[in-house]
Structure 1
């Protein structure tokens, strides 16, 4: 073989070997990247929502993927987390509210952690001193009324819970069953706060006599019976103090004023506070901590209002204009101790069911 031809063959072989080696290296690096991509799973209720843009920010910042595990309503999701505590289904739980706070803490399924930005959260919202559960959002459950209906009928809208049992409001109100609805339970607790454990049943008996309508859930009440949102005949409904903002935001035609009013004074509104915490047994504690930091960051907190129509817990988070103008916050929310709620919740629901539904 001629030397020149031999050199050419050698060069081709070396190039081929280098190319194969480089391809193998690239494949190894790609495989390493795939292997090293971390995931964090957030277990939550079915109403949870976050924008794709915010999820992308988190994933780019921490080179990790978020998995959202929706697990039913808040109570159902918490029960699943408790039942799986020896083999947790997620790293973080989002959505324990103050009606289930004591049950969640007593189950001892959360790890204490004080996230970044926790000092920007109003101390009034921080109901767990050990930071096993930290506040992430809040909103007020209250009466909503159809402004146009009351104007056309030349009637005065309700201003407090006591108004609902007056003859003038007979047959005008729809509420949700506290055994099957989160706002329904919050409204029941508002009445217990207002009238006491010895007086709330008397109030509900009078409300029943005044032909209050009870539905199983919020959608059935608001979109099925409420005159401002449906062909129903009830101009008063139990909803949220942020519902007027949602009405404006989702209106098919641009409107400057909300079609609904809210009743939030005189202890008429119950404040729901949602919490999140790291589940014991997480396989990735450091990423779980970073996720909790992110949940209280402005990036996530400023996304909350137009995703879930509640208020961010971080006071430095900027509210969208529609919230500033149309969403309400009561200055005097109805209050019951979370431990008392946990102890008496089932008793109150049973008493309510016996008096109102039977």
Structure 2
């Protein structure tokens, strides 16, 4: 049985302190290593506020702790949507120092609320562009519908390909998605339908999915591990909202094929950001941690620990990703300004149409 983590699941790693270096050694220049490009931070604790899917390789984080003299403590705040809501509600008494997991569906809200302060890493890789001078891209992944290939083969039914296919009666009661009001993948998929059918047409599309028996889960974890038949945990629905990278982690024992596939014509590209929380107790440590997340070690660890594409395009990817985890050639897009202006309205309209 395979259990995904990272951007795909709810595994929380609270990282213990590794051997702290002395202040003198820090001042000698340890902060200039490949895992962090900021000036050396003072020893202490950096509290990372993140979503429930934080799962970066502990050994990589321990290396950062050893080199910086900092101890990383992880505070999980739910899904990305819940994370941003909590950051806004606690703006005057921040929950930590650094944040990871604000994505491009909620980034505008975080920036407008002023929950992150301006900070640009000194070694920002080529091709990596910040938002508002405060949010630094760390990883990206395509949110797409996934199919249980074995279920469809056994049922002698062709795997759907497009958004329109999902509303076809032959796929009635087969799809489970996550709620855009409580789940960032759910919101990403809502935006995919806005991009596909327009602001005036997405409600009709969702109404057709409701008529076709779509099920809505509160979180990605519930949709994938409770309802999806391809997760190996007793689910009954062979179509689930997940990521284009998910099939790279449902590969057969001989490595020849994946038991699941991503519908690459149903995707919306999600970007996850890190930043320094405004009013934090340790902004210098938070800056060092943001630098670390863009460093070579952390970027290289992202695919196999977080199951997302690294933000730095120069990072080498696992050999089997080209075969099992390709990105969509033409993911659906919605202008960020439109998302900022209409996100809450679109969620309300979705809720009225789908939940009632």
* TM-score for both structures, normalised by structure 1: 0.82
Distance 1:51 1:334 in 2: 31
Q: Which residues in structure 2 correspond to 1:263-302 (within 5 Å)? A: 263-265=263-265, 268-302=266-300
Candidates 175, 178, 197, aligned match of 2:177: 175
CA drift of 1:239 comes to 1.0
1:224 aligns with 2:223: no
Distance 2:23 2:121 in 1: 33
Distance 1:31 1:142 in 2: 47
CA drift of 1:32 comes to 11
Candidates 219, 240, 251, aligned match of 2:243: 240
CA drift of 1:200 comes to 0.7
CA drift of 1:66 comes to 1.6
Distance 1:114 1:45 in 2: 22
Give the direction of change, closer, same or farther, for the CA distance of 1:318–1:173 in structure 2 (3 Å limit).
same
3-state SS in 1 of match to 2:48: strand
Larger helix fraction of residues: 1
- Tell me what 1:355 maps to: 353
8 Å Cα contact 2:81-2:181 kept in structure 1 = no
Distance 2:59 2:235 in 1: 37
8 Å Cα contact 1:271-1:333 kept in structure 2 = yes
Superposed CA deviations along residues 96-136 of structure 1, whole A, max 9, x for unmatched, are: 1011111111112322222144233x35xx361x4211101
Distance 1:318 1:197 in 2: 38
Superposed CA deviations along residues 251-302 of structure 1, whole A, max 9, x for unmatched, are: 7x4543110111113xx20111111111222344433332222110011111
3-state SS in 1 of match to 2:346: helix
Larger CA deviation: 188-197 vs 152-161? 152-161
Give ranges in structure 2 of 5+ residues lacking alignment: 1-21, 26-41
Larger CA deviation: 169-178 vs 272-281? 169-178
1:46 aligns with 2:52: yes
- Tell me what 2:125 maps to: 119
3-state SS in 1 of match to 2:226: coil
- Tell me what 1:262 maps to: 262
Q: Which residues in structure 2 correspond to 1:198-209 (within 5 Å)? A: 198-209=200-211
1:321 aligns with 2:319: yes
- Tell me what 1:159 maps to: 161
3-state SS in 2 of match to 1:222: helix
- Tell me what 2:192 maps to: 190
8 Å Cα contact 2:82-2:182 kept in structure 1 = no
Distance 2:49 2:91 in 1: 12
- Tell me what 1:311 maps to: 309
8 Å Cα contact 1:101-1:338 kept in structure 2 = no
CA drift of 1:221 comes to 2.2
CA drift of 1:182 comes to 2.2
Distance 2:310 2:321 in 1: 11
8 Å Cα contact 2:79-2:182 kept in structure 1 = no
8 Å Cα contact 1:227-1:235 kept in structure 2 = yes
Superposed CA deviations along residues 139-163 of structure 1, whole A, max 9, x for unmatched, are: 1111111222222333221111011
CA drift of 1:316 comes to 2.0
RMSD of aligned residue pairs (Cα, Å)? 2.3
- Tell me what 2:104 maps to: 98
Candidates 77, 87, 96, aligned match of 2:83: 77
Equivalent residues, number = 318
- Tell me what 2:151 maps to: 149
3-state SS in 1 of match to 2:250: helix
Give the direction of change, closer, same or farther, for the CA distance of 1:69–1:155 in structure 2 (3 Å limit).
same
3-state SS in 1 of match to 2:63: helix
Give the direction of change, closer, same or farther, for the CA distance of 1:195–1:316 in structure 2 (3 Å limit).
same
